[in-house]
Amino acid sequence: MITAKTCRFAPEYSCEKMAKHWWKALAILLLLYVIIAGFTIEIPIIGTNGQSSRGLFFHVPMWMCMYTMFTISVVNSLRYLSKYDMKMDVLAGTAGTVGMLFGILGFATGSLWATYTWGGTLTSDPKQMSTAIALLIYMAYLVLRMSIHDMDKRARISAVFNIFAFALLIPLTYILPKMVDSLHPGSASTPGFSSKDTDSHMRMVFYPAIIGWILLSVWIYTLVVRYKKLELKNIFK
């Protein structure tokens, strides 16, 4: 517990600084809980899923992190186009990079689950295919940023591309998969996260997992932004 006495004898760790970083401690505690409980609690055994249903605590939160980062990215792209502030372009690119990281992790954990439940790592499932297309579009966004050396030109073109990429993200990863038949939970013929495939024990881990992983993604984002500020001192005056 942080007390006035603690702050008095440790001025370098002021209460103000500690209070500002409380969410980082929360992220660590939540993820420790998720990792331990995620592998130890009892879960409902459904069909061929077996113990692979534990992937819910890791796979879905990765997508939530991806959506969070891509949202931050497109918001900063819009802010750049309204003010032409290069700092907004750097923030957009940074969030896009971190979002891509969690997108790849989400796709990898989903493919691992598919290996044991569908009998194949990469299948013709509409959800998996449309998600792969969305990730390729964002990968093209990051490649575009690296291929244009003129900073102003890169910022303008990538900002417009980012807006179109985000406009395709939701239909490709959420809307279209719900409209077609698929083995993936959450599709038109396979409703997901219902009383048949989850229970109260899983929800007690699933919801903290989403919060914990999102906090971790924001933490990583802030660290990369700090690095960018040191690297691009002429922009971040």
> Which pLDDT score is estimated for 112?
85
Average pLDDT in the chain: 85
The pTM for the full model equals 0.85
DSSP string, 67-131: HHHHHHHHHHHHHHHHH--HHHHHHHHHHHHHHHHHHHHHHHHHHHHHHHHTS-SS---HHHHHH
pLDDT tens by residue, 131-168 = 999 999 999 999 999 999 999 999 999 999 999 999 99
Q: By mean pLDDT, which of 11-25, 54-68, 131-145 is the weakest?
A: 11-25
H helices of the chain, where? Answer: 4-9, 15-20, 22-40, 56-83, 86-117, 126-147, 151-170, 176-179, 200-231
Higher-pLDDT residue of 8 and 168 is: 168
Among 94, 102, 173, 176, smallest CA distance to 141 is for 94
> Which pLDDT score is estimated for 1?
47
Segment 162-185 mean pLDDT: 84
Within 10 angstroms of residue 187's Cβ, the number of other Cβ atoms is 19
Question: Is the confidence at residue 237, as pLDDT, over 80?
Answer: no
Q: What are phi and psi of 49, to 5 degrees?
A: -65, -45
The answer to whether 115 touches 126, Cβ cutoff 8 Å, is: no
Tokens of 197: 């495939």
Segment 22-40 mean pLDDT: 94
Question: Is the confidence at residue 31, as pLDDT, over 90?
Answer: yes
pLDDT tens by residue, 203-230 = 899 999 999 999 999 999 999 999 999 9
Predicted confidence band of residue 119 (pLDDT cuts 50, 70, 90) = confident
